[in-house]
């Protein structure tokens, strides 16, 4: 692929950053904002919790940033040192240049983040693209992953080709159509107005990636021996959720699988369920 940059314009980038800063200033949890050096540029991280606690890394999906984890961090920080990492090339505060999905650059980038934060081993929670990166990193660096939590992961089951046509239809309907599209992605459940407005702001200013996310091979997935749990939404309009669950269960026998019948692609508000898994001996 030809590398492109996260934001269409500097003005759009500044608008997304200003709204991001508003979310950060309203966080209830005491936190730090950290910039980590990587071979691809700076990585932006929101850190919270005791520094000597077990480490939990949160990786958001495409078209979003670590704002999506702010509510969940209220629950995680009491037992973990939490690092919510903005993915490079996405509409957050890490480097703008998008990293190719193919090859090892993306997992090398996350390895640099771990080293920069002095993380020797961590549990990882990832959603969508962030779950794909979690898998990619765990396959390449299994000794650095304690437990793996995958929310509607890319790279396991195939993407739905119909989503491109569905998206185009709703986009042609203007602002109301865009809101209907996010409603559909969220499994037919309304998003809080502040999140809807922020998602729309990002959508106006972000260069969405066009290439398909590569599927992991059977051989790669069978290398995963750390405890893991996979959550999928039955109403996911982006990925074939049941195929994702079935393939992961087949290839990773010790994995736990949760199919949420009324959920879509946007799996949020699962912190309590995730904590039950993370704290299981």
Three-class DSSP labels, the chain: CCCCECECCHHHHHHHHHHHHHHHHCCCCCEEEEEEEECCEEEEEEEECCCCCCEEEEECCCCCCHHHHHHHHHHHCCCCEEEEECCCCCCCCCCCECCCCCCCHHHHHHHHHHHHCCCCCEEEEEECHHHHHHHHHHHHCHHHEEEEEEECCCCCCCECCHHHHHHHHHHCCCHHHHHHHHHHHCCCCCCCHHHHHHHHHHHHHECCCCCCCCCCCHHHHCCCCCCEEEEEECCCCCECHHHHHHHHHHHCCCCEEEEECCCCCCCCCCHHHHHHHHCCC
Q: Looking at residues 138-156, what average pLDDT do you find?
A: 98
Q: What pLDDT band is residue 168 in, cutting at 50, 70 and 90?
A: low
Residue scoring higher pLDDT (154 or 165): 154
Which of 42-51, 149-158, 191-200 shows the lowest per-residue confidence on average (mean pLDDT)? 191-200
d(CA 125, CA 75) in angstroms, rounded, equals 14
pLDDT of 172 over the 70 cut: no
Share of the chain above pLDDT 70, in %: 94
Tokens representing residue 45 in the block: 């991280």
Residue 99 burial class via C-beta count within 10 angstroms: exposed 0-12, middle 13-18, buried 19 and up: buried
pLDDT of 163 over the 80 cut: no
pLDDT of residue 164: 63
pLDDT of residue 176: 73
pLDDT of residue 238: 85
What domains are defined for the chain? 10-278 (3.40.50.1820)
Average pLDDT, the chain: 93
pLDDT of residue 211: 86
Classify 41 in phi/psi space as left (phi over 0), alpha (psi -120 to 50) or beta: left
pLDDT of 173 over the 70 cut: no
pLDDT of 267 over the 70 cut: yes
Closest CA to 114 of 93, 134, 132: 134
d(CA 124, CA 142) in angstroms, rounded, equals 12
Which of 22-36, 90-104, 184-198 shows the lowest per-residue confidence on average (mean pLDDT)? 184-198
Whether the model pTM is above 0.75? yes
Share of the chain above pLDDT 90, in %: 78
HSE-CB of 244 using CA atoms within 13 angstroms: 33
pLDDT of 229 over the 80 cut: yes
């Amino acid at each position: 692929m030809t590398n492109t940059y996260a934001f269409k314009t500097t003005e759009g980038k500044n608008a997304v950053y200003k709204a991001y800063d508003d979310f950060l200033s309203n966080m209830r949890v005491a936190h730090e904002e950290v910039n980590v050096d990587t071979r691809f540029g700076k990585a932006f991280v929101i850190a919270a919790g005791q520094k000597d606690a077990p480490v939990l890394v949160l990786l958001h999906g495409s078209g979003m940033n670590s704002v999506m984890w702010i509510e969940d961090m209220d629950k995680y920080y009491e037992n973990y040192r939490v690092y919510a990492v903005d993915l490079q090339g996405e509409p957050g505060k890490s480097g703008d240049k998008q990293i190719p999905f193919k090859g090892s650059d993306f997992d090398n980038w996350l390895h640099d983040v771990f080293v920069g934060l002095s993380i020797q081993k961590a549990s990882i929670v990832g959603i969508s693209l962030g779950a794909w990166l979690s898998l990619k990193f765990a396959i390449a660096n299994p000794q650095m992953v304690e437990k793996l939590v995958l929310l509607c992961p890319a790279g396991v089951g195939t993407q739905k080709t119909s989503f491109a046509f569905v998206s185009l239809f709703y986009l042609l309907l203007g602002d109301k159509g865009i809101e209907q599209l996010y409603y559909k992605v969220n499994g037919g459940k309304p998003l809080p107005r502040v999140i809807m407005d922020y998602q729309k702001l990002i959508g106006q200013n972000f260069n969405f990636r066009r290439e398909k996310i590569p599927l992991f091979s059977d051989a790669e997935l069978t290398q995963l021996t750390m405890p893991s749990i996979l959550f999928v939404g039955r109403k996911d309009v982006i990925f074939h959720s049941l195929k994702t669950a079935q393939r992961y269960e087949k290839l990773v026998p010790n994995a736990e699988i949760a199919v949420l019948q009324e959920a879509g692609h946007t799996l949020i508000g699962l912190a309590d369920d995730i904590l039950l898994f993370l704290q299981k001996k």
